[in-house]
Amino acid sequence: MLNGTPLYQELYARLTAELKTLPDKPEETCESTLHALWQTSAGVPISAQLALTLELPVLKQQQQDILRDLIGQRIAGTPLAHLSGRQSFMDLEMLAGPDALVPRKETELLAHAAVAICLQLSAQQDNLAVLDVCTGAGNVALAIAHHVPVAQVHAADLSEAAVKLAKRNAAHLGLSARAQFRSGDLLTPFDSSEFRGQVDVLTCNPPYINSAKVANMADEIAGHEPQLAFDGGPFGIAILVRLLEEAPRYLRHGGWLAFEVGLGQGPALVKRLKKNPAFGELRTVLDETGSVRAILAQRSQN
């Protein structure tokens, strides 16, 4: 075991003294960070979640120098997933980088709920049409494609750079045949008879941070991740309001809309949905503190 070596102890002590982690990435600890960057230095890029499952290799001097540099960059605020090029999401080892928001554990609440809905529907039909908008790195779309074999997933993002990363992730995970990605604004790329009124499940992890709060966000986010992925406008719900207005046009009767919300936004959006005759049954997904973090709404049956 190399965790008793002088190099390991030196770098672990430095991380313990200097590393600042964010609560939205609970899998990142001093230990998992060191293991992920150690493996990356050895030529094995890996996520923090998976890194602790592998034995550490012996590093050559050049690799030790690379590791020290990576540790320095991480302490300076560069996201771990940007340094390793990997992030775990729904047990999928995904490619990650500055072109899209690093997938978060909190978004797995949305993904798990969407997968459950898809599996429920797949018991009654042989194929599913799924749309995912604001797809970013493609994590929600690809989690559905991976866990629901009958799902044909189409996804889009306004950022062409994010779409390119999502396509690379689809190829990386062997899911390109059932997950296609397009560039465009929200649902605009799907405004055709192929999708209007034909979608079984529509998912979205939109930008939902109030624009006024962006300047006060941690530099690890605001200084390294694309603002387009988290700035939700003056009240943080600009994209969500559009989504609720446009989604009924694409969902079949009985289909489901599933989307993530920011802390504190859930109750008002549930109230808005209850007033919308296009939707019937509503479900909420709570985090471990009891806050609403995802909402599911079924398109009215008639």
Q: pTM for this one?
A: 0.93
Q: What is the pLDDT of residues 44-66, one digit of tens each?
A: 999 999 999 999 999 999 999 99
CATH superfamily of 107-299: Vaccinia Virus protein VP39 (3.40.50.150)
Q: Give the span between the Cα atoms of 62 and 71, in whole angstroms.
A: 14
Q: Give the span between the Cα atoms of 236 and 265, in whole angstroms.
A: 9
Beta-strand runs (E) in the chain: 86-89, 92-95, 128-133, 151-157, 179-183, 199-204, 251-260, 279-286, 292-299
Handedness of CA 82, 83, 86, 87 (dihedral sign): negative
pLDDT of residue 280 exceeding 90, the answer is yes
Strand partners, 153: 130, 179
pLDDT tier for residue 110 given thresholds of 50, 70 and 90: very high
pLDDT of residue 256 exceeding 80, the answer is yes
Q: Please state the domain extents for the chain.
A: 2-84, 107-299
Q: Give the span between the Cα atoms of 237 and 206, in whole angstroms.
A: 9
Structure tokens at 187: 């649902």
